[in-house]
Structure 1
Amino acid sequence: MSNPKPRIALIGECMIELQQRADGSLLQSFGGDTLNTAVYLSRALGDSGAVDYVTALGDDSFSDAMCERWAEENIGLQRVQRLPGRLPGLYCIQTDAAGERRFLYWRNEAAVRECFTTPAAGPILAALPDYDVLYFSGVTLAVLGEQGRGKLLETLVEARRRGAQVVFDNNFRPRLWASIEAARVAYRSVLPYVELALLTVEDEQALFGHADSEAVFAAYAQLGTPEVVLKRGAEACLIRCDGQSYEVPAVRVEHVVDTTAAGDSFSAAYLASRLLGGSPVEAAEAGHRLASRVIQVPGALIPKD
């Protein structure tokens, strides 16, 4: 996957994030699966790559603040639409004593739902196939809606035709879908174009009913996906790449504070390493190292230092 100074576009949603503290107070920041990955990917690549985020926001002060924060992280904003009168989505993170999360969402009217259906989306969609890498997730599929997903699929077909690499994180969230069958149809439409699949067994089981990791690998082998990574939290991740199998132990963490963005940060470090010429094992080790740091700090995005 090595590519001199690759251009990566990540497609998805960033929301207003509220972290509920033990005393009931709330700390406000921003987050979302592909945005979290974009930030950590930008940090990991530094000057060795260019990261753009593709989304739609409102014209409110929260949307202004998001764009300012992304610019500070060296994330390109030229593919961000600002829709008058609209707002970003919002979610609240509640964590238990073990650091496990519970999410509450307010996102039905979020601007991102019109990301690929506005007149301004035309030039953005036309530009995406010229990127070296396109990255999206199961959450992206859900929030774009049926019409937006159709536009995304057309983009993936053209991107692959031009030689772009397509990376997908399965991130299945049942509450975002009208039915499990609707989700299956959407996933199955895009999976044939994916070259690097970053998965969790739990999401694959919930969506497709796969019995175990071997069943997941078998399903993606049938699709012809050349590189599949199974993220398994504190357990070793499992990788199949070009017919080779790898198992890479996770980094042990004594005190987990918040597991938010653990998988997103792993994906970012893994992809950055692969783009810079690292082997699958080296990439997984980088992913585990970053995720182990992220889960020791509250919220999705840890301070740069």
Structure 2
Amino acid sequence: MLELSPANQTDYSLGFGGDTLNTAIYFARLGGEVDFVTALGDDHLSENMIRAWDKENVGTSLVKRTPGALPGLYMIQTDDEGERSFHYWRKNAPARTLIEDWPEVLTNLNAFPAIYLSGITLSLYSPQSRTALFNFLDEYRAQNGQVIFDINYRPASWPDKTEALATFDEMLKRTDTALPSFDDEKLLHGEHSKTECLERYLTAGAKEVVIKDGVNGCLLHTNNQSVLLPVPAKVTPVDTTAAGDSFNGAYLAARLNGASAERAVAQGQACAALVIQHRGAIVPINAFRASDIKNN
């Protein structure tokens, strides 16, 4: 999506972002090989987005171009403490009908060892597209594909909470690794502890879970063991946009490259700490040193 982020008190900067794209970019910057799956228009802004993603080493062969369509747009607003809120313009974004317009895209995903998606992804699709996706994920996992999911719950993206809950329940049945934020879980379920949240994910069938809780650290569950991992050092946020997305990208880059889950959490925390000290979802490449993130 196109992104408008505050440049100062009165002006906004135009860039690009979106939760799964943010994760893909940070994953690629930290050495992962990734393709992004979406639909854009045939306008110059869509073309600029694809060129930018190519420069970030994010594969774009599975980006559908829809004639006459325009990409979605969101605007970030931040308060005095750097906490963000969002406004969306994406009702007619071509990504919403990707599966309906290009059903073969799901078959193409069989070429990849892992698939990452989010609750925002699911909120875009019609019930029919979600059903097609879920049926595909059943077949994909039966062939040892790994499914990774972050609920990234945004109430404004759903008709009501009931539909969101029902959709997430179906998705969790098909999730191997879960990377939720505790704030989202509290908003959706009213849960009072990360342990309560963890039990729900494990009951649904997830084998590896990282519950992100900002300055309170992460609750990690892997290999049938759970551990609370604190944040090494607190930083003053400028803009918390993409904190969770960047954590996920860094975590997965480490984990899918053979690192332990504990080491992957440390890399995720280091990446998120850097990101929240900059405005917008994507840190300028000249301010992002992958070696510093990996060697934190």
TM-score with structure 2 length normalisation? 0.93
Say which of 73, 91, 97 aligns to 1:114. Answer: 97
**Contact 1:130-1:164 at 8 Å conserved across structures:** no
Aligned-pair distance for 1:189?
1.1
Name the residue aligned to 2:281: 300
**Contact 1:19-1:299 at 8 Å conserved across structures:** yes
Say which of 157, 160, 163 aligns to 2:144. Answer: 163
Name the residue aligned to 1:135: 116
Q: Please show how residues 88-237 of structure 1 align to structure 2 within 5 Å.
A: 88-118=71-101, 121-237=102-218
Aligned-pair distance for 1:211?
3.0
Name the residue aligned to 2:291: none
Amino acid in the other structure paired with 1:272: A
Name the residue aligned to 1:8: none
Q: Distance between the aligned counterparts of 1:282 and 1:73, measured in 2?
A: 24
Q: CA RMSD in A?
A: 1.2
Q: Distance between the aligned counterparts of 2:36 and 2:131, measured in 1?
A: 19
- What are the ranges of 5 or more consecutive residues in structure 1 without an aligned counterpart? 1-14
Q: Deviations over 1:99-157 (max 9, x none)?
A: 11121111111111111001xx2332111123100000000000122122112112211
Name the residue aligned to 1:27: 13
Percentage of matched positions with identical amino acids: 42
- What are the ranges of 5 or more consecutive residues in structure 2 without an aligned counterpart? 287-296
Q: Deviations over 1:34-91 (max 9, x none)?
A: 000000001112xxx4200000111111110110001101111111101111111111
Q: Deviations over 1:242-266 (max 9, x none)?
A: 2111222214344311111010000
**Contact 1:234-1:251 at 8 Å conserved across structures:** no
Q: Distance between the aligned counterparts of 2:234 and 2:42, measured in 1?
A: 41
**Contact 2:172-2:205 at 8 Å conserved across structures:** no
Aligned length: 286
Q: Please show how residues 76-91 of structure 1 align to structure 2 within 5 Å.
A: 76-91=59-74
Amino acid in the other structure paired with 1:114: T
Q: Distance between the aligned counterparts of 2:148 and 2:239, measured in 1?
A: 26
Q: Distance between the aligned counterparts of 2:83 and 2:183, measured in 1?
A: 15
Say if 1:254 and 1:209 are closer, same or farther in 2 by CA, change over 3 A: closer
**Contact 1:201-1:230 at 8 Å conserved across structures:** yes
TM-score with structure 1 length normalisation? 0.91
Bigger Cα displacement from structure 2, 61-70 vs 250-259? 250-259
Say which of 265, 268, 272 aligns to 2:246. Answer: 265
Q: Distance between the aligned counterparts of 1:254 and 1:241, measured in 2?
A: 27
SS in 2 for 1:297: coil
SS in 1 for 2:180: strand
Name the residue aligned to 1:60: 43
Aligned-pair distance for 1:174?
0.7
Name the residue aligned to 1:6: none
Amino acid in the other structure paired with 2:11: S
Q: Distance between the aligned counterparts of 1:20 and 1:58, measured in 2?
A: 25
